[in-house]
Every structure is written in structure tokens, then in C-alpha cells.
Amino acid sequence: MWNRRMAGHPAALFTIIIWGTTFISTKVLLTDFKPVEILFFRFVMGFVALFLVCPHRMKGVERKQELTFVLAGLCGICLYYLLENIALTYTMASNVGVIISVAPFFTAILSRLFLKSEGKLRANFFIGFVVAMAGVALISFNGSRMELNPVGDLLAVLAAFVWACYSILTRRISSFGCPVILTTRRTFFYGILFMVPALFLFDFEAGLERFADTTYLLNILYLGLGASALCFVTWNLAVKVLGAVRTSVYIYMVPVITVVTSVLVLKEPVTWVSVMGTVLAVAGLFLSEYSGKGSRNSE
């Protein structure tokens, strides 16, 4: 059990490293694609990839379990990304970055309400949350001032809450005893299904000829095969092994990965504010993760 639990940390960290770099591919694609088009293409590609890897049907799913898959697809695949993208049109990216990082706190609250197996939360988790949020704020508002926008900021809060709901639902799904690839594929299916009405609202255009551009093709492959198909499997695996709360705190690392990627790939300057924010975010992660050994989330 110890080795199994420890394997969850590399899975969560790998996922966050990929997710923290997706902004580059998204930025490239936004030149010629709408946000909803990128979202739809990447998850359809992810679904197809998971089907090719594991074409087997999932058998013996009860009606109540099916509802859990439906809700997970609605929350984690459809609503979360739509809310985040819409929030970005109303408020600053820095605001969204900070607010989304509140997701582990929502996850902790929901886990106490709905998941008995997650164990008791200790003070270390909340201390780590405060420290990490301070770091995320420093990174996000580095060189800029905070500008509140009620609509955009509220949408970002809703996105964080919806991701917390997805984490709880994923934890529930992990108890069904089904292969992670099959459960992820089923979640993708319902997420794509819920996404279809949004395509009409946001003037979706197929325009597949755009992928004749190698740059666009490689970036959508990165998002579809890497950030969607592979990373949702590794994230769901981490939730299955570590629990919803312990996995969710890795979200604190997303702004850190973004900063490092910006420096290495985009050659953006390093500032003492971003360095301090990185140190605090990592410290908050360790405080939440490794203190309070009495809390076992994956027995």
C-alpha cells in the first residue's frame, strides 16, 4: 500500500507539469481558433485516443454509477473549461489564476460533506492553503495591480467549485473498481455530449482545413493526446490512490509551472516577486501534503 500511495504523487505532479504548460499551445491556437473550438477538438481527440488504447466496453455499470459519470463529465469536462474561458473574457488572467487555485479548499470542504474515506482535515492543510495562495497571488499579480470584476471573478469562483465537484465525483468513481482508462473515457463522452449545445452558442466552426498548418496540428495534438487523454488518466489515477484532497493541492503548482515555462520557452524575465511566489506555493504544497500523517486518504 505504501508503494501504491507514493506512486500517486508522480502521477499528480506529471499531470500538473503538462497542464501548467498548455497555455502556450492554447495561445498559439487562439490565433485562428475560438476557445470553444479548441476545447471541443482536444476532448474529441482525447476520447478517440482512449478508445483506441482500450476499446473494451465497461460492463455492469448501475444506474446510480452512470449518473456519477454523467455529473463528472458535466463538471470536469464541460462546465469547468467553459466557465474558465468565459471568465477570461470578463476579468484579468491573473485574477482567474488566483481564484482557480482556491479549488483545493472547496475540495476539502466537499470531501468532509460527502466522502467519509478522506479522513479528518488537520490545521496543516489550511496553513498550507494560506501559504500557497499567498504565493499564487504574488505570481499572478507580479507587476500588475488587482482589478476586480464581479462577473468574471464570480465565474472563476464557480469554475473552482465545479472542479472541486469533479474531484469528489472522480473519487467516487474510483471506488467502482473499473479501469481508469475506461472511466476517463466514459467521463469524456458525457462531457463532449454536454458541450454540443455550447457549440451553437459560441459560433463553432469545424474548419478542419486549419490543421493543415503543422503548428496548429502539433499544438492540438499536445492538448488532445497529452493534456486531455493522458493527463486526465494520470490525474484520475492520482485521485484514486491519494484521495481527492491530497491530489487537489497539486493545483497550487500550476502557476509555478507556468512561470518556469514562460522563462524557459518565452524568455520572460525572472523577478524576485515570482521567485518568492514560487517558494511560497511550493512550501504550501508541502505543508498541505506531508504534514499531519494521521490523515490517510486512500486506505
Closest residue by Cα to residue 227 from 89, 45, 51, 63: 45
Q: How far is CA 120 from the centre of its chain?
A: 24
The confidence score (pLDDT) of residue 5 equals 62
Question: Which H or E run contains 196?
Answer: helix 180-201
Q: What is the pLDDT of residue 189?
A: 97
The per-residue pLDDT for range 117-168, each reduced to its tens digit, is 666 777 888 888 999 888 888 887 766 665 667 888 899 899 999 999 999 9
Residue 295 has a pLDDT of 41
Report the 10 Å Cβ neighbour count for 92.
20
Collapsing DSSP to helix, strand or coil, 119 comes out as coil
Cα gap 219→30, rounded to integer Å: 11
Q: What is the pLDDT of residues 203-225, one digit of tens each?
A: 889 999 999 999 999 999 999 99
Q: How far apart are CA 196 and CA 10, in angstroms?
A: 34
Can you give the pLDDT at residue 123?
Answer: 82
Output the pLDDT for position 20: 86
CB 235, CB 11: distance < 8 Å: yes
Q: Distance between CA atoms of 45 and 41, rounded to whole angstroms? A: 6
Identify the segments of the chain with pLDDT beneath 50.
1-2, 291-299
pLDDT for the residue numbered 229? 96
The pTM of this model reads 0.86
In angstroms, the CA 174 to CA 49 distance is: 21
Q: What whole-number distance in Å separates Cα of residue 215 and Cα of residue 219?
A: 6
| pLDDT at residue number 118 | 65
3-state secondary structure 244-292: HHHHHHHHHHHHHHHHHHHHHCCCCCCCHHHHHHHHHHHHHHHHHHHCC
Instruction: Report whether 156 contacts 143 (CB < 8 A).
Output: no
